[in-house]
Structure 1
C-alpha cells in the first residue's frame, strides 16, 4: 500500500507537546521535534487519552522498583522510571499521514499523553465504528480485564467475587456477569462506588461483609486486606487471581488456617503476556481488537469520572491521580 509522507512542510507538523514526569509528583509539558518518518509509519493527531490511576500513580510517585524497570516500560515510553519519564498507555487519535488505508481513520494506540506522534502502522488498532471516540480511552483497561478473565478461567454457573471497584475491577466484573449463569459481585471499601457499579447492572458489596463461598475470586484492589478476604471466602479448590500490582510495596497474606486444607489456587495475572492456553492462537493484536469490540457498551461511560484539557494536564495530573474519586480520567486535546 502506498504511503503519504508523515510530515509536511508546515511548521505545525514538525513539533509536538508531551507530558513528562520530571521528578516525583512533578510534571511539565515539553515541546519536542517529530522524528523523520519511515515508510511503515503513521502520523497520529491525538483526540483523547486516558489516565489509568493505578499504575500511573505509582510511576508519578517514583514507586516502580528498579527490578521492574525493564518489564514495566510502555511501548512508546521515553526516559526512565528514575525520572524524567514520559509514560501512559491509552490514546485515541486520527491518522493524518502515512498508509493510505489508515488516513482519516480513528485508531487506538498504547502511547503516553502527547498531542501528536509518529508510530509504526502495526502499533495502532482501528476503533470500531460502533465505539464512540471518547470511550476508546478505556481500551487498555478492557484489554487488561479480558486477560484477567482468561486467567481466572471463569465458567458458566460460577460464583465470582471481584475485589476493587476501580476501572479494571469493574470491567472484570462486567465481563464476568456476561458469562452464562454466573453470580458475580463487586467488593470495595468505598461505598460511593456502589452507584456506578449498580448503574452498570453489577451487584455491589462493601468490603468486610462478603458472605458465602466462591468458585473464583479476583483481587484488583491493590490491597492486601482484599486478598485476605478472598482467601477467607474461597470454596474448596477455588481459584484466586491476584491482578493488582503493588510496585515496591510488600503485603502479608494469611496462608495458614484452611489455605492448604482447601487446596486453594493463588495465581497472578498480568497483561504483558497472553495466558498460556490461548497464546498459540491469540496475538496481542487480536486481543486488543477484541478489547475494542467489547467497548460497544453504553454502560461503560459510567467509568469516565472526569475530563481535563491537555493544556491543564501538567498542573492537574498529580491531583487527578491522588483523588479517591478518580476512575478513568479523560484528557481532551
Structure 2
C-alpha cells in the first residue's frame, strides 16, 4: 500500500472516529451479587456439572396433533387450537416476532423488545451458515419503523448471533435504553447508546417498571470463524423479569434446565407470564450438550411449574426458525403438546404463531 493510500485510510478512520459518539454505560453489580466465576475469571452457571432431569420423553415424542395444521409432516405449520389463557388483567401485551424475539407493551405504555433479531444470524455467521449448508431462516415478524422509533428499552439475554444482532441495534437506534448482562456493553458500536449492565438478582427502575436480571443456564461464546472467539464466557448471560404493580413477566432467554428456576421462584414468587424456550435441544451427535444449555419441552413444563407460571408462552419453534438442533420447524411444539398430556401438566399454555399477539 502506497503512502497516499495510507493517508487516505488514516483520514477516513479519523473521520469515522469523530462521528462516533461514546456510549453511556451503567453497571449494576453490588458486591454481594450472585455471579459465579471460574478460576480463570470467566463466568459460569450457578449449577454446573452433570444434570439429571425430572422427565424425559423416550419414544413417540412427536405425534401429530389435530390443532397443528402442517403443509408437510411437522413443517410449515400453524397452531389453530382454542386458546385457554386465563383472565389475568396484568396490563401486558405480548407479540411473538419469531424464534426468541418478542415485542411487549407494558402496562405503563412502554414498548419493550426482547432479543430482537430480524434475520437468521448476525454478520458474519449469517453468511457462513448460508455458504456451509444453505440454510436460511424465513424472516420473522419485524416491528414497523414507527414501533422501533418508540422503543423504550431493549433486553438481550446473551451475545449469540441468533439473539444479538448489531445491525438491528443500529436500526433500533439510541433513543432506547439497552439492558444486558455484565461485561456485554463492549460489543456495542459507539453510537451514544444508553446501556445498563446488570448482575444476576439485581434490579433497576425503568419508568413505572422494575427490571430484574436473573440467572440462566447457558454460555456466551461469540464465534467468528471456527475456533476464534470474540468473547468466550467473559460476558455474562441472563434472563429478564419485568414487574409492574406486582404483575410479573419473565423472559428466560436461552437456558437449560437447572435449580436456578427454583431460585427465581424463591425470590420473586409466582410469575404471571413466562416466555420459555422449548427448542434447540436435539442433536444426533451432541445430544447431551444441546440439552445441557437448552430446555426440552418437558424441561420447560417442569420449569414453568417450579416458577409458578400462571401462563406459559413457548418459543423457539416455528416457520421463522431454522431447525437448529431440532427435527423440523414444529417438532418442538408437537413434543410440548404430547408431553403436557403425559405429564398431566396444569400450567396454562398460550401458543402463538409468529406475528400474533395477546393482551393478558
Q: TM-score, normalised by structure 2?
A: 0.30
Which protein has the bigger strand share?
A: 1
Q: TM-score, normalised by structure 1?
A: 0.32
Higher relative contact order (CA 8 A, sep 6+): 2
